[in-house]
Structures are given as structure tokens and as C-alpha cells.
Amino acid sequence: MILPVILSGGSGSRLWPVSREHYPKQFLKLNSETLTLLQETIRRTENIPECLPPLLVCNEQHRFLVAEQLQQLGITGSRILLEPDGRNTAPALTLAALAALEIDEELQLLVMPADHVIEQPEAFVAAVEQGRSLVKEGCLVTFGITPHSPNTGYGYISKGEALGVGYRVDTFVEKPDRDRAQQYLDSGDYLWNSGIFLFGARQYLTEIAEHAPKILECCNAAFAQRQEDLDFLRIGAKAFAECPSDSIDYAVMEHTRRAALVPMDPGWNDIGAWDAIHALSSNTKDDNGNAIQGDVLLHDVSGSFVRSDSRLVAAVGVQDLIIVETDDAVLVAGRDHVQDTKQIVNILKTQHRSEGQVHQCVYRPWGHYRTMVISEGFQVKEIVVNPGQALSLQMHHHRAEHWVVVQGTAKVTQGQGHGDAESMKSFLLSEDESTYISLGTVHRLENPGVIPLRLIEVQTGSYLGEDDIVRFNDVYGRVATHAASEEQNA
């Protein structure tokens, strides 16, 4: 049996401003109008014979996004393994292998990043089936992509001696310069490193024990401290913090004698930057080689990608540009410089600006909110609570709130003290009705209905930061104290 292991970490900084730290590219619909990149990856496993529901590895911050996207697909039986801190792929896969052994000692792990595009899934499934024969012989298989250009954005793998359906791995090569990439392409002996693997869980643990024993030691300790929480598997944070950070390539694949390579050409793209989105739009480009998304007008423009999320974007007399608009940021870049978009994200972090982390629309386990107006002493938000969901029971030290229901029915609970049941009262609000939550009042907002609850919230006070929250009770298991570290709005 195969257990897909989907790695859903990373922030996709080169796809800013659409991809952000709190809502990165794997959760976005970048290649499809109906499915996110993560959902496409999950769907890809459904055609693989003898395949179990996937195990997903993500961080605490993204756990409810992952759970919601699984729910949207109707996927049941999956587990979500939460990393307290990012430690690269080798520790993540070590934890996944330990979890797999609890299911079946003979499980094979199919490791896939959550944010890749594969346009020919049947070719991918065929390559996986080829790889299984090598795994049965004790090999750790990596899948190499047949190169179509001297791409300098990918690592390369050189082929060694033939192994039936594949090859032994000769060497892993870092991202080359243009001339060397052309040499690799011309030789026919090099493949792009896809970051997709297939190996037995037990065999992987044997190899990590030999080549990176400290990683296995820390992961064993962290896994021994695991706790089940809803669909989430939480591991010991303190033990995991001691784990070295290393990729599977550096920790295992470059050292093991069992590394094997299976070529494939399934229309793969890692969507590393906006030029990749432009390339994937080949079927929808206009006669001048432009790809557009959203409300866009062009005149005398060629070779460009223009995306609008919230307003009209017009371009005149330009060529080979990437223009991406969101409701709080606009990116303009030359197509040959889009890899440097991450430098803008680094500057945003240095300046402690929110545009690198969150959108105007921020998603939460219960729904989402969108900031409409920010000014000194007040701000206005649109809040949407999904049917049957509830915000935490909470209180603010520095702000008061006025709620106006514009759609659905709200159940409001409020009182004084520390959220004691005897001091709380509840009542319902319908459309066009409102209530006022004074500073220091303990309160909770719920949606008891079957349609989304939509309301306008006006906040007033001396401090309106998202860390002004004391949480007394929460159905999602979030910390019942100040939430500054997660910047949670309920």
C-alpha cells in the first residue's frame, strides 16, 4: 500500500502579493478555477492503485486551512501532522515515516510538495508504478523531470547506471548558471529535481539512522510526546526544537547507496514565480502573447501577464511585464526578474509591514474577516461566520465593538467576569439588527443558521491590534490567553 505524504509548508514568497505567509500559494487557485494547488495534489493520488488517504504535514498556523480544503473535497480518513517549527523536509518525512509504521510496517511513502502542477496525471501515475518495483528492491526513489529548457531555477540530478525502469543516482547538482544548464540539457544525462520521492517507510528510517542519526533521535523523542487533537497529530514541540534542519537530499539522498532515479515527463511545473503562471496560460494567451486574469484592459502590450483581483487594471505600451494587483498591493516586475520578488517580501518583513503576511481578507477556522477601513481610533471590518461555527469566548482590554448584521442570524453571548456561565446571557440578532460590545465585556459570536452570517464590525479604542484579545474558551483548541503570537482575530 502507498501512503501519500503531502508537504504543505512554505510561504511562496515569489508569488507575492497573491501568496502570503499566512495564506501561501498551495491554498490558492492558481492553475484551476475550482481547485487549489493543494486540492489538485490530493486529487492526483486518487488514481494511484492501492493508495490510502493522504497524510499532510503543515505548521500550526495553516492547520485549519488544510482541514477545510480536505473537507471541501469530501476526503475522510486523512491525518494532519503539525510541525511546531519548520525543520525542512528530512525531519518532516521522518515524522511521517514514524506515523506510517503505526498503520502498516510495509507502507510505501509517496512524498509530494503541495504546490506543484502536473498537467498529465496519467503519466505521473505510470511513473509511480514504475518506481514501486524499485522500492520493492530496497531503493529510495526520486523522480526526475525530463528537461525542456536550460532552466536555472531548478536543481538537477545526473543519471548513473541503468536499473531496469530507472537509474542509479549519480549526483545531485545545485541550481546551475545558464551555460552549465545548457550543457546539462545537451548531454541528455541530467533531469530536473522534482522533490517527489517514493520509498518504504521502514527503509527510509534505516537510512536516516545511518546518515542523520540526530534527526531520527529528535524526531523519535518528539513523536513519543504526540497528542491527538481532532484530525491533527501534534508532536512534542520542545524535543522537535532540538532537531537539525536539513532537506532529504542533503540528509539522505546524497549519501545513501540506495538512491534510484525514475524519469518522467508529466507536464510538471513547481510554479515557483509569476513567469511560470504566464507559461501555464499558453492556451488562453492573446495574439500578442499576453495572459490576463480579472478585470484587465490592454493596449499595445505584448508578452505580459496581468492579473487583477479587486479593480480595473489597464496597461499601455509595455512588454514582457508581470503586473499583479490585490486589494492592498500591486506588483510590477520584468518577466526576467520575477525570481527577485522575494526580496520585496524580505523588505516588508524588515519593515514589519503586514502586506508580507496577511491579505485584507484573513481566514480563520470559523470563516473570515476583511478590513474595510483603518484610521486613527477606529476601524471597520466585514466578518463572515460559516454555518454552525463560533468565535472564541473572549474579551478586549483596549477596544469596543459595534456589530450590525447584514445577512443571516447571529447568536451573541456576553457578560462580565471571566466567562463564568452564570454571568453570561445569550440573544439572537437578525438582519438589520445590531448590538454594542463595550470595552472589557466578555463575548462570543456564533452562527446558528444554515447560511453564512455576515456582519459589519466597527471597532473603536486606543489600540486596535489583533493581539488585544483574551481568550477564555475556544472550540478549535487555540490558546486560551493573549494571542499575539498568532495574531488571531477570535
**In a domain? residue 320:** yes
Q: Are residues 303 and 409 in the same domain?
A: no
Q: Are residues 152 and 18 in the same domain?
A: yes
What's the predicted TM-score (pTM) here?
0.88
- The length of the chain is 490
Q: Are residues 288 and 321 in the same domain?
A: yes
What 19-26 contacts at long range (C-beta under 8 Å, 24+ apart), as own/partner pairs, is 20/355, 20/356, 20/357, 20/358, 20/359, 21/356, 21/357, 21/358, 22/61, 22/357, 22/358, 22/359, 22/362, 23/65, 23/358, 23/359, 23/362, 23/363, 24/62, 24/115, 25/115, 25/271, 26/114, 26/115
Q: Are residues 31 and 129 in the same domain?
A: yes
**In a domain? residue 276:** no
pLDDT tens digits in sequence order for the chain, 490 residues long: 999 999 998 888 999 999 999 999 999 999 988 999 999 999 999 999 999 999 999 998 899 899 999 999 999 889 999 999 899 999 999 999 999 999 999 999 999 999 999 999 999 999 999 999 999 999 999 999 999 999 988 999 999 999 989 999 999 999 999 999 999 999 999 999 999 999 999 999 999 999 999 999 999 999 999 998 878 999 999 999 999 999 999 999 999 999 999 999 999 999 999 999 999 988 889 999 999 999 999 999 999 999 999 999 999 999 999 999 999 999 999 999 998 999 999 999 999 999 999 998 988 889 999 999 999 999 999 999 999 999 999 999 999 999 999 999 999 999 987 666 677 999 999 999 999 999 999 999 999 999 999 999 999 999 998 889 999 988 887 755 444 333 444 5
Q: Are residues 247 and 314 in the same domain?
A: no
**In a domain? residue 107:** yes
- Rounded to the nearest 10 degrees, the angle between the axes of helix 213-224 and helix 89-101 is 50
How many domains is the chain built from? 3
Q: Are 318 and 308 in contact (CB under 8 A)?
A: no
